[in-house]
Amino acid sequence: MNYSEERLYKKRLYQRQWREKNLEKYKSYNSYIYSKDYSKQARIEKRNFILKSMGNKCIKCGFTDVRALQIDHINGGGTKEKQEIGEGVPFYNYLIELIKLNIWQKGYQILCANCNSIKKYDNREVPNGTFSKIS
């Protein structure tokens, strides 16, 4: 066993022993993971509520299959927003608040995956400018 493997082994052993000694504390630290807010079903319900509130179809082509519908930032900036708000449930909670205040129309729209990809391509809304426009 080399030095880094030995360090990793000792670290994992220490963590395992700590969890065994502090089981209640460990459970309380991780309880949020198992709460309703972070469950898959809750995420699906929140997403469906958001899509339904925003029209439940692509505003460009009218596509309605929720499996391919995406929440798009009208003026881009989704990456920055993810860093500030978070992804998944925190973002959905934020959108639900905007929907309740009826101000979501200023920054968001529903697009299907194809229309969203085309928009990103046309506006060069990709990290590091990896798309180059074809003439």
What φ, ψ does residue 101 adopt, rounded to 5°?
A: -85, -5
The pLDDT value recorded for residue 32 is 60
Note the pLDDT tens digit of each residue in 53-94: 999 999 999 999 999 999 999 888 887 888 888 887 788 888
State pTM to two decimals. Answer: 0.64
Q: pLDDT at residue 129 above 80? A: no
Average pLDDT over residues 86-105: 87
Q: Whole-angstrom Cα distance, residue 128 to residue 82?
A: 17
The pLDDT value recorded for residue 133 is 55
The residue ranges of every structural domain in the chain are 1-34, 38-127
Token pair recorded at residue 71: 């929440």
Q: 3-state DSSP call for residue 110?
A: strand
Average pLDDT over residues 116-134: 73
Q: Whole-angstrom Cα distance, residue 29 to residue 122?
A: 45
